[in-house]
Each structure stands twice: as structure tokens, then as C-alpha cells.
Amino acid sequence: MLRYLLRRLLVSIPTLFAIIAISFFMIRIAPGGPFDANRKATPEVMANLNKAYHLDEPLPEQFGRYLWGVLHLDFGPSFKYRDYTVSELIFRGFPISLEIGLWAMLISSTIGISLGTFAALKQNSAWDYTVMTIGMTGIAIPTFVTAPIYQLVFGLALGWLPVAGWDGGWQHKILPILALSVPNIAAISRLTRGSMIESLRSNHVRTARAKGLGVRLTVTRHALLGGLLPTLAYLGPATAGIVTGSVVIERAFAIPGIGRYFVEAASNRDYTLVMGTVIFYGVLIIIANLIVDLLYSLVDPKVRYE
Amino acid sequence: MSEAAFELIHETDHGATVAGRSKLKDGFGRMRRNRMAMVGLVVLAIIVLACAFGPFVLPFDPNASDFDSISIPPAFAGGHIFGTDDLGRDLLARVLEGGRTSLLIGVLATIVAITIGISYGSVAGFFGGAVDTVMMRIVDVLYSLPFLFFVIMLTMVLGRGIESILIAIGALLWLTIAVIVRGQTLSLKHKEFIEAARAGGMRPFAIVRQHIIPNTIGPVIVYASLLVPEVILGESFLSYLGLGVQEPQSSWGTLIDGGAQAMDTAWWQLVVPGLFLAATLFSLNFIADGLRDAFDPKDR
């Protein structure tokens, strides 16, 4: 187990390096320098600025410096928010994004697994079709359409919840979490249904029923474990989906999380902030995949990582 | 010999030719019986035709402001079926114009992705060994990158606009195709006809081009049908964030973004482009499901 963990960590290093390198060099060939927007400065001032930010050094040296900084969680200063470093902005936004993301993850897996199991138990019934149709709808309608519709219905028409904004209160969290959860509920329930149907047909489940075990116990003790493996494997990609979704949600609901900093940075050409957030997201997704793989190896006795 | 087989031979003997059933025909036959896929095909055809020809037929220019009819709700009277936006532009005309952009990007970026994916995958699979290992290792690394974030970075490099979105999405979405094609190539390359081509002195790249690639097309088409909605979604995502298609050009993403900002006074500005996008994605997903069921022997 420990060996597997170490090997997995080792394998993530090239990926991480690739993320950093691609971000760094891509941003470097992007047009426009960080000081272009300023008033025309004299060549001496520009030279001094470039020197202060080490932009006059050869590229490999700059990359080494950046890499070294990233290892210390130092992504350099933000070009747009002059008083902040990129790390400060990321760690100011992250708790908020994380809170919404974790809630969405929790809610979508609980509801998704329940709905999927339910549909599998009642396969080909009206309930099954209802759940699957909702699932298809949830997947096909993107969050940037649903989020404004929730705002319109629950915020403006019914007036139950605030339309947008963030003050840390629970009222402001409901709609963003809802909007972020629905596509994942849809995906997870479809996935769970498929694998549960297969699991319910397997020999050990039939044996359990044959020896007189009730439906409920058979499902919870025997069918569910096998049926949930594909769902568990999906949680890795689901994290990536929630990260991407949070970018939309944070813009739609005006939430000051990382996603919003990222979008603002991308439209302001705040290169260091863009690089910092992309690398941060990359690390997040790598960690999520690692956790999912470890859980998978714990749950599935067939998986041997030797 | 069974009786049925005997009869079959007997019948053929009588001059009636037995029509061969091609894999393709079989597949489309199964596809035709899939009701959801056919509904999807019809809806998609309507949307595509409307986007292609609608702008010529409609009496409204998508970019012409009419200050006498600002933010009119949808109504058949007056000709603005889907209403107008806050500059008095006809929403139907704008949605069809935007649809052209979205659909065009969807198809073109998919073609870019398929081209890269097929070339990459077939070369990796055919040459094998160290070439294969290195090429697939690169794919593994790229796979774990957050795709849309790199698209956004790439558009920062290339500048915003339709062309750069095309290149950015196409350049990052070929990975799965490459993996599929590589797998196909691996199973193909030891077949007799490849051996024969080799023995006949054909050059490796010519074999890949003339014998390997044509035989991997089937699964590629199925997967490509899944790629198109993904591309359209990605493009709308970027445009919604203001990082994709830029004014004065429009796509469904930019229209949804504009609609979301105007929704408290004019809900139709959000709902109409949203419905068009959702209907397109729905249809494409059903068609892709149908194609996969019809052509993928594993799932039958």
C-alpha cells in the first residue's frame, strides 16, 4: 500500500512538471508584456522594471526561478492586483471555492447514488424512466444556462433566496451548490444505475437472495459495494468537472472564489495569476485522482498494485 | 448440412443473388430503429437547416438595431417571434447567426481533433516500441491537465476570436481519439494484409496512410459524434466567460451571457439561446448514443 502510494506520488511529478512548464512557456509566448498597459515609461525605467521582476534573465533561468518559487507556494506577484501576491489571492479565494465544491460533491454523490440505485431496483418502470430523463436533462443543459434560470426563479420570481453575492451566510450558498450539483447528480445516477443493474444480476447477489436475505440487506451488504466501483472511479473526473463548473458558478453568482480570480485574470491578461491558478487547479485534480485511486484499491479486492 | 443452409444454397442456385450485408448498412439499420436517436437527428437537422438558411429568409438583420422595438417579449404579431434584445435586435435572427458560429466551431474543431488524433494514434501504434511509449506517455500527461483551463491559456496566446478557439480546442481534444486509434492499430498491424503490404515493399508511412487509417474509421466516427457536443459546450463555456467569441461576432455562449445579464427585465434573452443550445446538445448526445449502440458490438 505504502509502496503504491509512493509510486503514485512519483508518477505525478512529471505531470506536475508538465503543467508548470506548459503554463510558463505558453504565457511567455503570449503577446504583450506585463507593463504594456502602463504609461509610456523611459527605456531606463523599463529596464529597471524588467530587472526587478527578473525579466531580463535568460528564459531557462527564469523558468528555474519560477519552478523554485512554485515549490514554496510562491507564484510571484499579481500584475493586476499590485498589492497582492498570487498566493495571497489563491488562498483568499480557495476556502470559499472549496466549501462550495465539497458540498456539491457530497450532495451529488449522496443523491446521485440513491437515485441510481433506486432506478436500478425498479428497472424499466416509470420511476426508472423519470430518473433517467432527469439525468439526461441535467447532463445536456450546461450550468451557465441553469444557474441564471435558478436565479430568475428562486431569486427574482419567488424571492426565496438572494440572487447573487456572498456574505458567508447559508442563504447565499444554496443556489450555487444546487447549480453545481445537478449535472453531477445526473452523471452519477446514470453511472450508478448501469453498474447496479449489472451488480444485481451477479451470482453472489442471487445466492444472497436465494438463501433468504431480504432485499434491503442484499442491496446494502452485497450489491452496493460492487455496484459503486465505477461511481467511485468517476469521482476523480467529477472533481475536475466541479472545478471547471465552479468557474461558471462563481461568475454567475458573483462569489469571490478562485474561479472568479481566474476568469478576471484571463480577461485582464494578469499572466502570473492565470499561471498560478492553473497550476493550483492542476495540483488539486492530481490530488483528487490520487485519493480516488487509493480508495479504489482499498475497496476493490481485485485491484492489486504491485 | 442443416436444412436452412441447404435451402439457402438451393435458392441461390436459382439465380437470385444474395445481397451482401455490409457492416455499415447493418449499423444504420439498427440506428434507424433507435427512436431517440432518430428524434435527435430530426431536431438537429431542423436546427442546422434553420441556422444555415434562416438568415437569408428572415426579414431582420441580426446586427440591425430597431430603437422602436426594444426588449419586446416573444410574440407572433409584429414578426419578432422570439422577441428582441435591449438594442432592439431580433432575437431569432441573432440566435440563428450565433448558431452558425457554434455549429461551425463544433464541426471544424472536431475535424482538427480527429486529424491530429488519427495521425498521432496510428503512428504510435504502428511503430510501437520506444516511439509508442514516449508518445503515449505524453498523452497520459496531457490527459491529466485541466482541459478548459489550457484552452483559455491557449486563447490568451493566440488572441481571442473564432480561429483561435478552433485551434485551441482542436489542439487539446484529440487525446481520446489517439488512444482509440492506437488500440485499433495495434490489433491491425499483425494482420495478413499488412504483412503483405510490407512484403510488397510498401513504406511504413504509406502503409499507415493507406491500410491502417481507413480501417480505424468506424470507432473514430462514433467517438467524433461525442466530440461535437463537447466542443460546442466548450465554446459556449468560453464565450459565456467572455473569453471566447468576441463582439460583434456572436455565438450561443455570448448570447446566453448577454441574456443572463438582462434576465431580470427580459427573460427570453436567456431562455431562447439556452433552449437552442440545450436542444442541440440533447440531439447530439442521443445521436451519439444511437451510433455507439449501433456500431459498438460490445454494448449490444
A77: helix, coil or strand?
Answer: strand
Tell me the per-residue pLDDT of A132-164, one tens digit each, with 9 for 90 and over.
Answer: 888 878 877 888 888 888 888 887 778 787 777
B242 touches chain A (CB under 8 A): yes
Nearest to A274 among B148, B153, B281 (CB): B153
pLDDT at B1: 41
Q: What is the CA radius of gyration of chain A?
A: 24
CA atoms within 13 A on the CB side of B292: 14
Residue B187 pLDDT > 70 = yes
- Nearest residue of A to residue B239 by CA position? A144
- Which of A76-80, A200-204, B4-8, B250-254 has the weakest average pLDDT? B4-8
Per-window interface: A 234-263 vs B, CB < 8 A: 240, 243-244, 247-248, 251-252, 262-263
pLDDT at B299: 46
- Nearest residue of B to residue A19 by CA position? B145
Alpha-carbon gap, residue B235 to B148, rounded angstroms: 10
CA distance to B113, B171, B184, per residue, from B133 (Å) = 21, 21, 16
A18/B267 touch (CB, cutoff 8 Å), yes or no:
no
| C-alpha angle B275-A149-A143 in degrees, rounded to nearest 5 | 75
Per-window interface: B 212-241 vs A, CB < 8 A: 233, 236-237, 240-241
Banded pLDDT at B27 (limits 50, 70, 90): confident
A111 touches chain B (CB under 8 A): no
Residue B21 pLDDT > 70 = no
Answer yes or no: are the C-beta atoms of B181 and B121 closer than 8 Å: yes
- Which of A25-34, B63-72, B210-219, B235-244 has the weakest average pLDDT? B63-72
Distance from CA of A14 to the nearest CA of B (A): 8
**CB within 8 A of B108, min separation 6: which ones?**
B166, B170
DSSP codes, A175-199: HHHHHHHHHHHHHHHHHHHHHHHHH
Distance from CA of B189 to the nearest CA of A (A): 30
Q: Of A212-221, B35-44, B114-123, give the range with the top mean pLDDT.
A: B114-123
Residue A230 pLDDT > 50 = yes
B141 touches chain A (CB under 8 A): yes
pLDDT at A29: 79
Alpha-carbon gap, residue B100 to B78, rounded angstroms: 25
pLDDT at A276: 87
Report residue A6 as a C-alpha cell.
Answer: 509512493
B154/A26 touch (CB, cutoff 8 Å), yes or no:
yes
Residue A238 pLDDT > 60 = yes
- In chain B, helix, strand, coil percent, each to 5? 75, 0, 25
Nearest to A23 among B140, B153, B267 (CB): B153
In B, which residues are within 8 Å of A148 by CB distance? 256, 259-260, 263, 270
pLDDT at A26: 82
pLDDT at A283: 85
Answer yes or no: are the C-beta atoms of A146 and A179 closer than 8 Å: yes
Alpha-carbon gap, residue B36 to A74, rounded angstroms: 52
A139 touches chain B (CB under 8 A): yes
Residue in A8, A134, A145 to test binding to B, most B beta-carbons within 10 Å: A145
pTM here is 0.81
Q: Of A48-57, A109-118, B86-95, give the range with the top mean pLDDT.
A: A109-118
Rounded (10°) angle between helices A86-121 and A271-299:
40
B267 touches chain A (CB under 8 A): yes
What's the full length of chain B, in residues?
Answer: 300
**CB within 8 A of A58, min separation 6: which ones?**
none
- Nearest residue of B to residue A241 by CA position? B146
N-terminal to C-terminal alpha carbon distance within chain A: 9
Tell me the per-residue pLDDT of A246-272, one tens digit each, with 9 for 90 and over.
Answer: 888 888 888 888 888 888 888 877 888
pLDDT at A107: 92
Amino acid identity of residue B168, one-letter, is A
Nearest to A282 among B145, B154, B285 (CB): B145
Distance from CA of A74 to the nearest CA of B (A): 20
B127 against B6, higher pLDDT: B127
Give mean pLDDT, residues A15-19: 84
DSSP for residue B262: T
The enclosing H or E element of A277 equals: helix A271-299
Answer yes or no: are the C-beta atoms of A19 and B145 closer than 8 Å: yes
Nearest to B144 among A15, A149, A244 (CB): A15
Closest CA to B97 of B245, B223, B242: B245
CA atoms within 13 A on the CB side of A203: 0
Closest CA to A62 of A278, A271, A265: A271
In B, which residues are within 8 Å of A263 by CB distance? 241-243
Give mean pLDDT, residues B274-279: 88
B159 touches chain A (CB under 8 A): yes
